């Protein structure tokens, strides 16, 4: 993925290829990281930060599944990054244990029943949050012109980061691995997720960056939303 520029002095880029998308949001040489990746990607992340000369002031978690929150404790310890999480997943993060969601398609439903049998694999290093929010959180304090909104559905504490009112980093609320199919293969509550999509659409963002895969356009989300909101 090319680095994106909001036109208002903020740059957003993927840190390094990894199991989940880890984004850096940078403005006037201050940076935050969105999601921390899975623990086995730690060396790759460390090298990328070093190579690019980035010291993240904060790590914002779009949610706390093991593949997104696996390095949060390490980043806090190693770089002094402040950890931001939505209230409803603060405890899962503190325990390093977030339940895996239900499958939303036939094939992912059977994957989940397999996953439940190997659940300990999904645990990660416990991490204490520095900032916990309920509905919204302003990123001003880190020098970033943006805010976070609560977008539950994939998981209870789902969060979407809105940068310069134009780019949304949506975690697993949106998926970019299958072109034209942005609905995630796993979700705790599909109806709630659809309502969260409405919130994301209402921000006016034109580009949506998912937790896995490539950027998704506003039009793609609006089309899928109008289909799904009729059947929910
Ligand atoms: Zn997830």
| pLDDT in 10s for each residue of the chain, 232 residues | 789 999 899 999 999 988 999 999 999 999 999 999 999 999 999 999 999 999 999 999 999 999 999 999 999 999 999 999 999 999 999 999 998 888 888 777 776 666 666 566 689 999 999 999 999 999 999 999 999 999 999 999 999 999 999 999 999 999 999 988 999 999 999 999 999 999 999 999 999 999 999 999 999 999 999 999 887 6
| Span from the CA of 208 to the centroid of ligand 1 (angstroms) | 16
DSSP letter string over 189-225?
Answer: -HHHHHHHHHHHHHTT-SEEEESSBS-EEHHHHHHHH
Region for 127 from its dihedrals, namely left if φ exceeds 0, alpha if ψ lies in -120 to 50, beta otherwise = beta
Q: Can you give the residue range of the structural domain that contains 194?
A: 4-231
| Span from the CA of 223 to the centroid of ligand 1 (angstroms) | 23
CB atoms within 5 A of ion ligand 1 belong to 65, 172
Q: Which tokens is 224 given?
A: 């899928």
Q: Which tokens is 212 given?
A: 């896995």
| Span from the CA of 100 to the centroid of ligand 1 (angstroms) | 8
| Span from the CA of 50 to the centroid of ligand 1 (angstroms) | 27
Please tell me the predicted confidence (pLDDT) of residue 102: 83
| Span from the CA of 64 to the centroid of ligand 1 (angstroms) | 7
Please tell me the predicted confidence (pLDDT) of residue 219: 97
Name the H helices within the chain: 42-52, 66-69, 72-79, 90-95, 106-117, 190-202, 218-231
| Span from the CA of 49 to the centroid of ligand 1 (angstroms) | 23
Please tell me the predicted confidence (pLDDT) of residue 120: 64
| Span from the CA of 63 to the centroid of ligand 1 (angstroms) | 7
The domain that holds 88 is classified in CATH as 3.60.15.10
| Span from the CA of 56 to the centroid of ligand 1 (angstroms) | 22
For the chain, the domain total comes to: 1
b/e per residue 167-206 (b: at least 16 CB within 10 A): bbbbbbbbbbeeeeebbbbbbbbbebbbebbebbeebebe
| Span from the CA of 182 to the centroid of ligand 1 (angstroms) | 14
- Tell me 139's DSSP state: -
| Span from the CA of 48 to the centroid of ligand 1 (angstroms) | 23
| Span from the CA of 174 to the centroid of ligand 1 (angstroms) | 10
Please tell me the predicted confidence (pLDDT) of residue 122: 86
| Span from the CA of 65 to the centroid of ligand 1 (angstroms) | 5
């Amino acid at each position: 993925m090319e680095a994106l520029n909001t036109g208002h002095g903020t740059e957003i880029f993927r840190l390094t290829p990894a199991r989940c998308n880890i984004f850096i949001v940078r403005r006037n040489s201050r940076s935050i990281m969105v999601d921390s990746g899975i623990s086995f990607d730690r060396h790759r992340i460390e090298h990328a930060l070093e190579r690019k000369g980035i010291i993240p002031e904060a790590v914002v978690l779009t949610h706390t599944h093991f593949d997104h929150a696996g390095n949060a404790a390490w980043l806090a310890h190693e770089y002094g990054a402040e950890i931001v999480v939505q209230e409803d997943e603060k405890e899962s993060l503190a325990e390093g244990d977030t339940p895996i969601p239900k499958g939303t398609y036939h094939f992912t439903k059977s994957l989940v029943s397999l996953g439940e049998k190997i659940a300990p694999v999904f645990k990660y290093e416990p991490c204490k949050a520095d900032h916990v929010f309920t509905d919204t959180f302003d990123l001003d304090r880190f020098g970033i012109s943006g805010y976070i909104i609560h977008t539950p559905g994939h998981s209870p504490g789902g969060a979407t980061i809105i940068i310069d009112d134009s780019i949304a980093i949506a975690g697993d609320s949106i998926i970019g691995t299958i072109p034209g199919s942005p609905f995630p293969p796993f979700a705790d509550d599909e109806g709630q997720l659809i309502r969260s999509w409405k919130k994301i659409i209402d921000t006016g963002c034109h580009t949506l960056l998912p937790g896995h895969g490539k950027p998704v356009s506003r039009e793609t989300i609006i089309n899928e939303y109008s289909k799904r909101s009729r059947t929910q």
